[in-house]
Amino acid sequence: MKNFGKIKTTLNAYLPPIIWAGLIFFLSDQSKLPSTPQPLFDLIFKQTAHVVVYAILYLLIRRAVFKTQQIKNKLRAKLIILLVVFLYALGDEFHQSFIPGREATWIDIAFDMLGATLMFFFSPLILDEPITT
């Protein structure tokens, strides 16, 4: 019965980031995404979406890792999570390069990482934790 509790905790922790990553993959797999008639508004909307989506991905992965692992060095753990998000962003853009009508850009990766990096710094405030390393 003790193992069931650990499995439940692990699923509860890791299922949300896996589902969120799946949503990102699904959206990246679309040949055409909704857009606005104004090119500037469309650009702002899409780049803001990159920031928000990857900020959430960072938070979900961070929550999972901190909930299931004994963290001795929080800074190191958060940097590794940032690296994982970066690798997912790279993979996402690589995946997009094979989708008709889509292209892979370093700008998108930069906006993805802007969101993740903002959460790297502000997640203690959002998660109501003491700010320590």
pLDDT tens, residue by residue, 54-113: 999 999 999 999 999 998 999 999 999 999 999 999 999 999 999 999 999 999 999 999
Q: Which of 65, 67, 57 is nearest to 87 (CA)?
A: 57
Q: Which of 132, 113, 130, 10 is nearest to 65 (CA)?
A: 10
pLDDT value at residue 133: 46
Q: Which of 56, 51, 48, 52 is nearest to 17 (CA)?
A: 56
Single pTM value for the model: 0.89
